[in-house]
Structure 1
Amino acid sequence: MKTRQQTCASVLVAMDIVNEEAVGGSESVMSSGEDHASFRNFSPPPRKKRELANSTKNTKQKHLARGTQGKLAGVLGLPLEIYTEITCYLSPIDIISLSRSTKLFRALLLQRSAAHIWRTDLQNVPGLPPCPNDLCEPQYAALLFTKHCSSCGETTLRSMDPYLNCVPHTQPFPRLEHVTEIKPESLGRLIHQSSISIIKRGRNQANTCLHTEKEEMEGIWADICAGNAQLDKDTIRWIKETANACKERQKYARALVQHLESALDSQSKELDSLKVQQQQEIKRGLEENGWEECDWQSPWTEARGWTNLVKAPKLLTECVWQKLYPQLVPLLEKNRRVQNAKFKALQRSQRKRWLHNLLVNIKN
């Protein structure tokens, strides 16, 4: 295999031979050393071109990366005291999202010195019971304000179960067990039980417990029965403390369930008021555009599409109205045609009845 220098030398020799065989010998393709030098300078190594292109691309990427990082420069440059004061006014769901946004915020908000930030944010929620002793503030906030399964992390429609301090999955079969399966039954006093998370709905809805707690307690009981663990004063004290912890969990769970129900009730009332307010604003906007009330009183067969557009729990801003009105116009025009047809049919029947009565009176 020839090298690059050998290839260039062979090409130059071939060009010299062609020049010597040319007619008259005066005209040559490349006949001098200067021509040889120009041939060498004509084809620069392609590797340098690729290096220049790559370096330009890398420089551009670095410049873009620095520009993206600069969006957080104002926040990251704040003093720690001001940053702490700002985070104390955030809602719990906002501070959870902030702690999961970057590694820096995660390190700042999930250290022990930031516990007062979480505590202050939780206190801003009216009527919320304080964080229990067996949970830290970030765990308590995540269980309350996010709907992710505590075992698999997937999104679920179910809310927190305060009796078990977890968010069960929509189908919690591999994680929950019936309390009736605990052997012996006296161990049920040492295991947290729930009447909210139900495995199978029916007439006999037994309380449930976590599978891990059931196995742990049954293992301790098996060690005591086998003689591997001594039933001394420490064990008896641990049993009493565990039973008291279960009682305290029941009290805390009842208070939290009451708070969640009241919060859900107030949220539903707020959504209903937003729906009513939006309908009034839409009605006002339609009247300003020349539509009448009979135009949007559609029959029940066509009311579904109208309801999906009109009864949304959000404020009607100018931007929302500009997007919503073109979607309402076809429904309004269709309903107006239907209403006009009904009105004409009613008038026709009234005229026929009036004419019939008139003819009867003339004959008589």
Structure 2
Amino acid sequence: MTRQSLRIKENQVSSVDSDIHDATASSRNSTNAGRKRAQDDEHREEDEKLEEEHSRKRVRKSDSDENNQSVESSAKKTKQRMPEQFRKVRGRLGMLERLAKDVPLDVIFEIFCYLDPSDLLRLARTSNDLRGILMSKSSESIWRTARSNVEGLPPLPLDLNEPQYAHLLFESYCHVCNHKGRCDNILWSFRMRCCKSCAAALPSLSDGRYKMDLPVQFFNRNLLPQECIQGATRRHRRDVGNFQIAARLKAEFEALQTPKERDAWITRKSQERRAIVAHGRLCEVWHKARLSKRTDELSDIRKQRKDAILERLAEIGWREEAEKIIDSWREDEFTNHKAVKQPKKLTDYGWNSIKTELVEMLSTHKTERLAEEKRCTLIQRYSRLEKEYDDIRSASDLREPFPAVGDIFTYKVFENLIWETPEDEELTDVLFREKLAQHLPQIIEQWKPAKIQELVEIMQKSVPSASAADLYLATSVFECTNCLSRPKMHYPQMFYHPCCIQNPAADSLSDARLKTYTYGRNTKGPWMSRRIVWSDSGSRAATAIVESCFLDPVTATIRDLNSANPLIECTTCYADKIYPFGRAFMRWPFALAHSSESAAYQLPHHTLVFNSFGEEAQQILACEPERYIYSSHHDACCAHCHKSLVRSFKSLVDHFKANHSDIINVEKLEASSVNKPEGIQEHWYWNPCFALRDLGNEFRYRPPVAPVNVAATFTADTATSTTSSDTSDDISSDS
């Protein structure tokens, strides 16, 4: 018989009161019930009035202290009038409790048919009455109808009932550790959800403990359920089992007495396992589709919230800044902000709670953005100035010192032009070119004498009588103390050495500004001589090379040494077993660095032999390759236009033919028997931007017979020499 509510019963009693006038007791009960109902309605109306009054006073809580006291008094009265059984019930007087007791079952069933299994599962946990209704056998149709409301959901499996199936599908916590965090990893064969940490504890199928004491038939018929667990990477996958399921199956198997029963049981369980696996595949497809749909729904909600926040920001003038963050190539800090990314609809209360935080974030971002835009503008201006200056320097004679780009950057005219010009005003290449043409001569006129004097003072520490004219001597050799190999250099190579421009600006303000362009590393600072010292070993080696060319060390210049271009052999390298490729020959720039490099690395002395090699000279010269034919190193400069060129005879002649045919007889150069760069030395010079070692090259000559003995040698350590009949010279440096 269908259960009816008390209200319906009371209405029926009132309508048929004339028919049951002989039932005095029933009439009395009906009267009492009506009186009680009237009292309940009166109390309910009174409670509602108190609640409304309490709500109004709570809204006006901040108006005055008197209102606060009245609200507290009203709340206290409401609490006193509330029945004891409803004081700890959430909701308005426990409406679900009254629903389960008063509403007819057919109405409840009709309502529940519009829900899904997850809703029924949660309703069953609200009260004992609802649990009794939903967990009864008679409510199976409700679960079935609710399950049909879920689109694409696979049918109920044979091994689960409706609540169990709903629990597996919709309860998102881990069934092993009961952690309330969301767990979407479902092991369908095990009928459980399992987080990654708990899944790592599941036994592997290859583990002997899992197979221990289990019947052989389980493995022959593939009876035990298994799952594939994804590890930290895609390659780390393993098949796992379940101890509890294995133990239960073992107990069922051992409870059977006869082999026939066991065979039938194994056949049935195998079929059930195949059905579970097939059903699990369907559930996995549905589960992934559900997660994807949920992800899309959350994305839509977040997008709506983001759009609503942007509209609110437009009202207070911050939308433009937020859109700049969104359109930036960097990480979208605004969209990923915790106040924006929430999958929750924006309300007035929610906006008021996040408004201050968002405005602070946008204000900070605007400050940083403006600073970054200013820095980019400054970098662009520095780059344009540097480009125009490099173009001017590349067309200048580098045989004389030229200011570093850092000296131009720190010159007040250009520094103020870059920093003081408003950001919205563009500084063009033409403007920088005009400014350089106007101020560069004055800069060089002030800068060059001061820097040359610094070098002279460095020389005078070792050679007190040195003067500026001595810088051009071939025996004036300097070295860098900042480089590990302490490279040797002639004037003006030190003015283009990278270690000499890695300096802070003299003015602290200029230094701070320069770091904006160089990213704080002082890689393009003004030129300083603090790392340059006089090289005693290099000077001795150069003196020996000059004397081997029968030149006077006191007057011989670098140009004289280039014209002599002596051929030099290192007998130490030939005797060394590390170089079994023949005798080592080189020209003077490579030999100067080669003879003195051993001092820095504490290598054995290098003994150098100069010029006179008798009848073998032509054979040795024939082995000398033109190393830079296929090189991209522009280590030569045209003496006429100062353009950087590849140091090869062909590239030099091609350049002269294309640009200087009016002042150079190119046909005569091509007809010359000397088709090497050294043969036309008057038309080019070494690029001082390259180190001495890079300006020369070493080559090997393998003689057909044992090399002749060399009698005359020169040792840089003792600065003494002897001469034999073949007048050959050598040098053994302390390097």
Residue 231 in structure 1 maps to residue 231 in structure 2: no
Q: Secondary structure at the match of 1:215?
A: helix
**Unaligned 5+ residue runs, structure 2?**
1-78, 378-420, 440-735
CA offset at residue 168 of structure 1? 2.8
Which of 59, 81, 104 is the aligned partner of 1:79? 104
| Cα distance in 2 for residues equivalent to 1:343 and 1:202 | 43
Query: Which amino acid letter does the alignment assign opposite residue 129 of structure 1?
Result: P
Which of 262, 275, 283 is the aligned partner of 1:248? 275
Residue 150 in structure 1 maps to residue 175 in structure 2: yes
**Unaligned 5+ residue runs, structure 1?**
1-58
Which of 308, 314, 323 is the aligned partner of 2:344? 314
Name the residue aligned to 1:102: 127
Which of 261, 286, 304 is the aligned partner of 1:259? 286
Which of 188, 199, 205 is the aligned partner of 1:162? 188
Name the residue aligned to 1:123: 148
Higher strand share goes to which structure? 2
Query: Which amino acid letter does the alignment assign opposite residue 330 of structure 1?
Result: E
Name the residue aligned to 2:241: 209
Give deviations 1:67-101, integer Å, cap 9, x for gaps.
Answer: 66643265231111111111121232222111111
Which of 288, 299, 302 is the aligned partner of 1:275? 302
Which of 351, 357, 363 is the aligned partner of 1:327? 357
| Cα distance in 2 for residues equivalent to 1:203 and 1:343 | 46
Aligned sequence identity (%): 22
Query: Which amino acid letter does the alignment assign opposite residue 365 of structure 2?
Result: N
Query: Which amino acid letter does the alignment assign opposite residue 304 of structure 2?
Result: Q
Residue 179 in structure 1 maps to residue 205 in structure 2: yes
Name the residue aligned to 2:223: 191
TM-score normalised over the length of structure 2 = 0.36
CA offset at residue 64 of structure 1? 3.5
Query: Which amino acid letter does the alignment assign opposite residue 336 of structure 1?
Result: K
Name the residue aligned to 1:40: none
CA offset at residue 164 of structure 1? 1.4
Query: Which amino acid letter does the alignment assign opposite residue 214 of structure 1?
Result: A
CA offset at residue 127 of structure 1? 0.4
CA offset at residue 200 of structure 1? 8.8
Query: Which amino acid letter does the alignment assign opposite residue 310 of structure 1?
Result: V
Give deviations 1:205-242, integer Å, cap 9, x for gaps.
Answer: 44222212323445666788xxxx3212x332222111
Q: Secondary structure at the match of 1:309?
A: coil
Q: Structure 2 matches for 1:290-301, cutoff 5 A? A: 290-295=317-322, 297-298=324-325, 300=330
Residue 348 in structure 1 maps to residue 379 in structure 2: no
Name the residue aligned to 1:23: none
Name the residue aligned to 1:133: 158
Query: Which amino acid letter does the alignment assign opposite residue 327 of structure 1?
Result: E
CA offset at residue 260 of structure 1? 0.7
Q: Are the structure 2 counterparts of residues 343 and 199 from structure 1 closer, same or farther at C-alpha, using a change threshold of 3 Å?
A: closer
Name the residue aligned to 1:90: 115
CA RMSD of the aligned region, Å?
3.7
| Cα distance in 2 for residues equivalent to 1:245 and 1:78 | 42
TM-score normalised over the length of structure 1 = 0.69
CA offset at residue 342 of structure 1? 5.0
CA offset at residue 308 of structure 1? 2.1
Give deviations 1:250-285, integer Å, cap 9, x for gaps.
Answer: 110111111111111122222222222322222222
Give deviations 1:41-63, integer Å, cap 9, x for gaps.
Answer: xxxxxxxxxxxxxxxxxx95983
Q: Are the structure 2 counterparts of residues 301 and 280 from structure 1 closer, same or farther at C-alpha, using a change threshold of 3 Å?
A: closer
| Cα distance in 1 for residues equivalent to 2:218 and 2:229 | 20
State the aligned residue count: 301
Q: Are the equivalent residues in 2 in contact too, given 1:92–1:121 (CA < 8 A)?
A: yes
Query: Which amino acid letter does the alignment assign opposite residue 85 of structure 1?
Result: E
Query: Which amino acid letter does the alignment assign opposite residue 323 of structure 1?
Result: S
Mark the structure with the bigger radius of gyration: 2
| Cα distance in 2 for residues equivalent to 1:239 and 1:196 | 23
Greater mean alpha carbon deviation, residues 93-102 or residues 348-357: 348-357
Q: Are the equivalent residues in 1 in contact too, given 2:123–2:130 (CA < 8 A)?
A: yes
Q: Are the equivalent residues in 2 in contact too, given 1:191–1:217 (CA < 8 A)?
A: no
